[in-house]
Amino acid sequence: MMHTRYFDLRDTKGQQKIIEDQISAAADILRQGGLVGIPTETVSGLGANALDAEAVNKIFEAKGRPQDNPLIIHIPGPQWLPRYCEDVMEDMEGKIDAVVDGGPCQVGVESTILDLTCTPPRLLRPGGLPLEALEEVVGPVAVDKAVTERLKDGEQPKAPGMKYRHYAPKAPVTVVTGPAKASARTILQMVKPGDGVICFDEFAELFKEQEVECLGPSQDKRIQAQRVFDALRAFDSKDAAQIYAQCPDSQGLGLAISNRLKKAAGFKTIAAGQKRVVIGITGGTGSGKTSALEAIRDLGGRVIDCDEVYHEMLRDSAELRHAIEVKFHGVFNSDGTLNRKKLGELVFENKERMAQLNEVIYRFIVPEVQRRCQAGELVAVDAINLIESGAEALCDRTVAVTAPAELRVRRIMARDGIDERYARMRISAQKSDEFYRGKCDYELSNTAETPEDFREIARDFFRRLIGELREEKNEASR
């Protein structure tokens, strides 16, 4: 087994010759293609020469890192500060050449990663520089889907550590979100003797029969950021069968802390006390629904695409396929896939048959959408047939996204590469804006010049609506 050297640089005021010699020795290891555990202002990381492919591959081997989980190229400067190295030594001894020990850190959570190749800029990974501070400098910043929910199989992460269960204890973790007192009560109702609990300092006394790691005071996110890694790590030496963790809100450093906890939990979360908000979003093609839904994601919400749910159930639900086959015999191929052309011939020119098909689909889809709405504090239900299907009953409010017909025509032509005649046919085949205006609680009109402009408008609209709904729900529960 490889011998891992240890360089102690915790006392930066010590003998400079010794310090310089140790730094030079660590640098020589990197030049020769070796790996060194290096302290940064956030957390320790494994360092290698980024221009040496063989050395970079050693990082993946040492950490057992999936190949689709990218690495960061760092350009070190004098701002690099200390971080605990005991965990690096425990995990990497014999796997890497050396560890530089710089002592405890000042930040604790990972570095912030911002994508500036798109408009608006997109937060790929929350970290020590909060979202609000970024927006003061660059304006509105979108939040990548991977920050708020688990990526599906086949979806590629755009930043390191954003796809897989990450820095996780051996025992399964459940994150409990919501107001501090409410989340503590919820955990107390669920835990068993011997379970593990990560909680804010003021609630530690509640869990006398559990293994407890304190995250810090509920109002001090700076301390929480410094402790979150250690709290998770501590359970690797304990025998807890299950771990429950309190979680701060997503303001300031809270977004990075909650993301770190949720990744350790594989995004298994329970909402406590926080009133769930479900918003139904509908509207015709070319109206700007996609930008409106991105605005929901920017605000930390998750989107349930009813069309996507239908196709998933068509693939996975034998009951749904059987119900369609009973009504429309012979529309499935021998391999069990739907013959869309044959089904289309039966229903597209026959309103009665189309109504029969929709009745079958709605009967299966709506309960599944209702089940999915239970996960998350902010949920948007995206459905062209939101009203007709009855899914509107699952929503606190419904919003119609509308746009002038001429704008919709131009957008569809540009988006789908079709001519004007076909674009107008597609619009005329759908419900009119008047229908949506009459059936939905709100109208969000899109006359913006670009999708980015409308996304910003939609974000402001939904931020206000969500605040009003939560205040309304809190008042009703008092």
pLDDT of residue 449: 87
Kindly report, residue by residue over 277-336, the tens digit of the pLDDT: 999 999 999 999 999 999 999 888 899 999 999 999 999 999 999 999 999 999 999 888
Q: Kindly state the tokens that stand for 172.
A: 């399964």
pLDDT of residue 8: 76
Per the prediction, the chain carries an average pLDDT of 85
**What angle in degrees, to the nearest 10, is found between the helix axes of 451-477 and 289-298?**
60
Q: Of 350 and 440, which is predicted with more confidence?
A: 440
In angstroms, the CA 102 to CA 42 distance is 12
Residue 81 pLDDT greater than 50, yes or no: no
pLDDT of residue 7: 78
pLDDT of residue 80: 39
Side-chain half-sphere CA neighbours of 135 within 13 A: 14
| Listed residue (363, 320, 325, 370) closest to 343, CA to CA | 325
Q: Of 171 and 10, which is predicted with more confidence?
A: 171
Q: Looking at residue 50, what DSSP letter applies?
A: T
Distance of CA 119 to the CA centre of its chain: 19
pLDDT of residue 370: 93
Q: Of 62 and 147, which is predicted with more confidence?
A: 147
Contact 41, 81 (CB under 8 A): yes
Kindly report, residue by residue over 148-193, the tens digit of the pLDDT: 888 777 777 777 665 555 567 889 999 998 889 989 998 998 899 9
Of the pLDDT bands very low, low, confident and very high (cuts 50, 70, 90), residue 419 is very high
Kindly report, residue by residue over 17-29, the tens digit of the pLDDT: 777 888 888 888 8
Of the pLDDT bands very low, low, confident and very high (cuts 50, 70, 90), residue 403 is very high
Residue 371 pLDDT greater than 70, yes or no: yes
pLDDT of residue 110: 83
Residue 96 pLDDT greater than 50, yes or no: yes
pLDDT of residue 477: 61
Residue 83 pLDDT greater than 60, yes or no: no
Kindly report, residue by residue over 444-473, the tens digit of the pLDDT: 999 998 999 999 899 889 988 988 888 787
pLDDT of residue 461: 92
Q: Of 101 and 121, which is predicted with more confidence?
A: 121
**What angle in degrees, to the nearest 10, is found between the helix axes of 318-327 and 306-316?**
90
pLDDT of residue 5: 82
Strand-pairing partners, residue 96, are: 93
pLDDT of residue 464: 87
Q: Of 107 and 310, which is predicted with more confidence?
A: 310
Amino acid at 296: I
pLDDT of residue 22: 80
Contact 23, 29 (CB under 8 A): no
In angstroms, the CA 374 to CA 306 distance is 15
Q: Percent of the chain at pLDDT above 70? A: 87
Residue 348 phi/psi, 5-degree rounding, is: -70, -25
